[in-house]
């Protein structure tokens, strides 16, 4: 069974996924925020904003075929600017933290903004999440596709090189949403771009946190952090610790285990896991199952690491789309990326991009339902 969609040549395509352009209101300064919606006939749809490439809504069916919005977010565009929690956003140029905002390339030191205590986080105050991207193309079909681009000027946010970034979102009729970031530069620079969706598979409007979600992480090691959440350099085995999700555990089972120093530092999970298998190849990173709805999210990625964040800093200062106040643990993030602070650690995966090279970060979010 599939929906019939008319493609650009006027022919009908069975099983094709619909694509629509729209608008998502205006910002306080009067700029319009364009949007795109991709929707298939299997109950899955996604709304993407030109502002930050934000995934503002993501609907997926439960075990009875009932769809619900499974990502946290705001009802208006301006809230994404005023109350940054990076809901659904594209984060960059460097997602995650860089110690003291400093790094050097070819002997030259660079100083980035320090916007997270002493460190640089998610590209600084005006990172990729706060800028208007260009909706380059939108196409229905099998799969449907939206391509967004952003040109980051040389020196923007303190980063060297003009960076040309493309974010491609595709939705197929197998309930797979893929996101692919690509970037090129005209000078050596550093890059780490990811998507910062906060999921709650019970539904964004459901009055429940994510602690009952059962999580599997295909990662036997993670990178512990210091008091300001910068990796110490150690690659620690998860075995025998509260960080072991190689077999499914609920997110809440051990999140309050105060005997674990790493959980105390992060106020929960806020750590980079080293995904098993070969970086550069699409492989399973995570599987999350929400028992009441049956919704299952599987994450496949080619990046070496995934930041698992259990929504520790959601502190009731943001009111979401369905007028629900978001509190600690109401959503979780899985952010495929190179490791935090890689530019300062030669033993971590490389975050450097040279002219002539193309940075690629691909992730697939596969939704299904368990009986
Ligand atoms: C970080 C958290 C941070 C959050 C901001 C996550 O990627 O790991 O420490 O508070 O982003 O929304």
pLDDT digits (tens, 9 = 90+) for 35-78: 999 999 999 999 999 999 999 999 999 999 999 999 999 999 99
pLDDT in tens, 199-250: 999 999 998 999 999 999 999 999 999 999 999 999 999 999 999 999 999 9
* pLDDT above 90 coverage of the chain, percent: 95
CA dihedral 153, 363, 275, 218 (to 10 degrees): 160
Known binding-site residue numbers for beta-D-galactose:
96-97, 196-198, 270
Q: In whole angstroms, how far apart are CA 261 and each of 83, 249, 256, 274, 305?
A: 30, 19, 11, 19, 21
> What is the rounded CA–CA span in Å between residue 302 and residue 305?
9
Contacts of residue 261, Cβ cutoff 8 Å, sequence gap at least 6: none
Q: Which residue ranges have their beta carbon within 6 Å of ligand 1?
A: 85-86, 229, 270, 307, 309, 313, 333, 335
* Peptide bond just before 67 cis, omega within 30 deg: no
* Both tokens assigned to 242: 């509260």
Q: How far apart are the first and last CA of the chain?
A: 21
* Peptide bond just before 162 cis, omega within 30 deg: no
For β-strands 189-190 and 352-353, DSSP reports them as: antiparallel
* pLDDT above 70 coverage of the chain, percent: 96
| pTM score, whole prediction | 0.95
Nearest Cα to Cα of residue 151 among 132, 130, 138, 179 = 132
pLDDT confidence tier of residue 5, bands split at 50, 70 and 90: very low
Q: Taking residues 290-314, report their average pLDDT.
A: 98
CATH code reported for the domain at 4-369: 2.70.98.10
For the chain, the structural domain boundaries read: 4-369
Q: How far is the CA of 369 from the centre of ligand 1 (A)?
A: 28
Collapse the DSSP code of 153 into the 3-class scheme (helix H, G, I; strand E, B; otherwise coil) and give the result: coil
């Amino acid at each position: 069974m599939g929906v019939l969609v008319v493609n650009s040549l006027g022919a009908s395509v069975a099983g094709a996924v619909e694509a629509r352009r729209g608008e998502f209101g205006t910002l306080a300064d009067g700029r319009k925020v364009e949007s795109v919606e991709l929707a298939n006939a299997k109950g899955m749809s996604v709304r993407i904003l030109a502002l930050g490439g934000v995934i503002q809504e993501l609907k997926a069916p439960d075990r009875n075929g009932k769809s619900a919005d499974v990502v946290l977010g705001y009802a208006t565009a301006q809230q994404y600017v005023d109350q940054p929690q990076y809901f659904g956003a594209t984060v960059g140029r460097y997602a995650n933290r860089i110690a003291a905002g400093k790094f050097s390339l070819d002997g030259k030191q660079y100083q980035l903004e320090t916007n997270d205590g002493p460190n640089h986080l998610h590209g600084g105050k005006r990172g990729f999440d706060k800028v208007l991207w260009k909706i380059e193309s939108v196409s229905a079909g099998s799969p449907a596709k939206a391509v967004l681009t952003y040109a980051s000027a040389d020196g923007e946010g303190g980063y060297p090189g003009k960076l040309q970034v493309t974010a491609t979102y595709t939705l197929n009729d197998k309930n797979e949403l893929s996101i692919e970031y690509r970037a090129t530069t005209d000078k050596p620079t550093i890059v780490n771009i990811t998507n910062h969706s906060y999921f709650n598979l019970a539904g964004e409007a459901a009055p429940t946190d994510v602690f009952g979600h059962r999580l599997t992480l295909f990662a036997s090691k993670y990178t512990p952090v210091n008091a300001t959440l910068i990796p110490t350099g150690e690659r620690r085995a998860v075995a025998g610790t509260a960080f072991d999700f190689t077999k499914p555990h609920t997110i809440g089972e051990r999140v309050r285990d105060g005997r674990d120093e790493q959980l105390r530092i992060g106020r929960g999970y806020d750590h980079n896991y080293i995904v098993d298998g070969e970086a550069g190849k699409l492989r399973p990173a995570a599987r999350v199952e929400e028992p009441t709805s049956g919704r299952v999210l599987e994450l496949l990625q080619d990046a070496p690491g995934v930041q698992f964040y259990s929504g520790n800093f959601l502190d009731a200062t943001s009111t979401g789309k369905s007028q629900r106040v978001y509190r600690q643990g109401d959503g979780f993030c899985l952010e495929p990326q190179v490791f935090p602070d890689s530019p300062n650690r030669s033993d971590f995966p490389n975050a450097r991009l040279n002219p002539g090279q193309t940075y690629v970060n691909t992730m697939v979010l596969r939704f299904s339902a368990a009986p």
